[in-house]
Amino acid sequence: MGGFVAVLFTTCTNCRVHGGSFDGKTFKGGFIALTGCTDCEVYGNYSTNVGNTSPYQFGSNNSTRTRWHGNVAASPQAGGTGVRGFWLGNSNVGFIDTDTICGPNNKAISNTASGFVIEAAGAQVFGNYALSNAGSGFLSSTATGSQSVDHNFIGNTAIGNTFHGYQTDVTSSVPVLRVTLSGNRFEGNVSSAMYLNYAQFFSVTGNLCINNNTAGTNAEIELLGATNNISITGNTILVNTTANSAGVQLYGGITSTLTDIAISGNDITGGINSQGFGIEANTANSTTVKRLSIVGNVIATVNHGISLRATAAGDVWDDIAVIGNTITDVAADYLRFSGTNANQITKARAIGNSGGITIDANTVLIENFGNTWNVALTAPTISSGFGTSPSVTQNAGYRSFSINVGTGGAASSGVIGLPAAAHGWSCAVADVTTPAGNSTVQIGSSTTTVTVTNFSRTTGLATAWPASDILQVSCWPN
């Protein structure tokens, strides 16, 4: 173990350590540590005033299935390099813990470093409290030969810590793998609620994030580094009123590779609509963002709703979907796309969102429909022409609809009524009843109509539709 401790257990099996109370006073070390132990339980202990040269109050390494619950690590001596409340596992090769059980009701209060440091292959961390520590509340820590994997943080509380509520603490670019963060409360931490650096295969669900990032330098949930396969779903996020705060941020201030990120169903609210972002991705330094989906979030009272910006020529963006978000009470941009180079953001889609859009000349959306800024998806009508009693028989608005050309067998042309477009309409038409002999095409349009004519496939001349032929039509405004 690093540093001195008052009580050290080595290679114990099925030990119970409970009911201890320790005031460090002049002692320079921590209280309790376990090394090489199996199936031990540490509970109901209280530690305070430990020496400022100790790295922790409670610690373990190379131990398996240790259960920690009901312990308190509070207020170590001031000075030194920083005392953690609980340091469970170690970054040295062979010293990682296995299947740690931490909870419920452990408390790390006013320690001079982080509250809970978990370095383990498998950990259940639940129902604990990290309050007013000088580092982060909770960490998954990892290093070469000691990779943290399979952590579940459920129902914990982190309030008023100097760094983050939760963070991945990464050495030598070794990612933290397969973590669930669910039902936790993060409030008033100076930096992020959750800081995900080199985080891979994370589920972030149903957490409460309230007025973190009090320094205005991070986001409630921040993603950076080689981070991928992240699901951020169903969280309630209250963004504070500092200028650069954000609900969720993909950070590109360092070179990052952010791929397969899903941000969905979150409720993000700011304190004032002249400050902050709902969801932001602002990249530089040759950052890559691929397969980012932002779906079904409710965002209100921020300066920028969803802001997606590639600010450096070396940034790579591909496959960006913004779908079904509700954005209200925004002072600047509801949805913003911008790139440094032409077509830098590729395969970008905006579908079914509320609010408005700001898009620069370098960005072209491959899909842009069903949003409140688009033409309303009202049903098309028959304006004139066609045969006797023509009708629109089925429709999903102007995007896809069917026309029965009517009877009589004499008409070769017709005019379809559409909602008002900015410039005109482009429509694809097919006769699905007699396609072998008839080719129906658009020959003209206005801002509110499209004219179609039927031509014989054999002669190339305009020819009447057979009675009651069905045309399948898809139109796009331009």
Residues 6+ apart with CB under 8 A from 173: 198, 225, 226
Contacts 24+ apart (CB under 8 A), 390-399: 390/414, 393/470, 398/425, 398/475, 398/476, 398/477, 399/369, 399/474, 399/475, 399/476
Just give the CATH number of 5-369.
2.160.20.10
Provide φ and ψ at 4, rounded to 5°.
Answer: -95, 150
Distances (CA, A) of 309 to 75, 288, 299, 317, 405: 44, 12, 18, 9, 48
pLDDT of residue 384: 95
Q: What is the largest CA-CA distance in the chain?
A: 105
In this prediction, residue 1 carries a pLDDT of 52
Specify the amino acid at residue 270: G
Q: Which pLDDT score, from 0 to 100, does residue 2 have?
A: 58
Identity of the residue numbered 274 = S
Give the domain ranges of the chain: 5-369, 381-477
Q: What is the pLDDT along the chain (478 residues), one digit of tens a residue?
A: 557 899 999 999 999 999 999 998 878 889 999 999 999 999 999 999 998 888 999 999 999 999 999 999 999 987 777 999 999 998 888 899 999 999 999 999 999 999 999 999 999 999 999 999 999 999 999 998 889 999 999 999 999 999 999 999 998 899 999 999 999 999 999 999 999 999 999 999 999 999 999 888 889 999 999 999 999 999 999 998 877 789 999 987 888 999 999 999 999 999 888 888 999 999 988 899 999 999 999 999 999 999 999 999 999 999 999 999 999 999 999 999 999 999 999 999 999 999 999 999 999 999 988 888 887 778 899 999 999 999 999 998 888 999 999 998 889 999 999 998 878 999 999 999 999 999 999 999 999 999 999 999 999 999 999 999 999 999 988 8
CB 156 within 8 A of CB 115: no
Looking at residue 357, its pLDDT comes to 93
Burial class (CB in 10 A: 0-12, 13-18, 19+), 422: exposed
The CA distance from 25 to 64, in Å, is 31
**Tokens 């796309």, residue located:** 337
Which residues are bridge partners to 10 per DSSP? 35
C-alpha separations of 74 from 58, 112, 307, 354, 394 in Å: 11, 9, 41, 48, 69
Q: Which of 137, 230, 214, 133 is nearest to 179 (CA)?
A: 230
pTM: 0.83
Nearest to 69 by CA among 106, 39, 34: 106
Write b or e for each residue in 248-286: b if 16 or more Cβ atoms lie within 10 A of its Cβ, otherwise e.
bbbbbeebbbbbbbbbbbbebbbbebebbbbbbbbbbee
Could you give the CA distance from residue 353 to residue 431 in angstroms, rounded to a whole number? 33
Beta bridge partners, 263, equal 232, 294
**Cα–Cα dist 69/88, whole Å:** 13
Which residues have a Cβ under 8 Å from the Cβ of 379 and sit 6 or more positions away?
Answer: 392, 395, 397, 401
Q: Which residue type, as a one-letter code, is found at position 446?
A: S
Reading across the β-sheet that carries 401-404, which strands appear in turn?
391-395, 401-404, 470-477, 425-431
Q: What is the pLDDT of residue 242?
A: 79
CA angle in degrees (0–180, nearest 5) for 453-458-459: 70
For 381-477, CATH number? 2.60.40
Cα 192-210-69 angle, rounded to 5 deg: 80
User: Which has the closest alpha carbon to 263: 302, 222, 293, 220?
Assistant: 293
**What residues contact residue 131 under an 8 Å CB cut-off, 6+ apart?**
107, 108, 109, 110, 115, 137, 157, 158, 159, 160, 161
Closest CA to 212 of 193, 233, 230, 231: 193
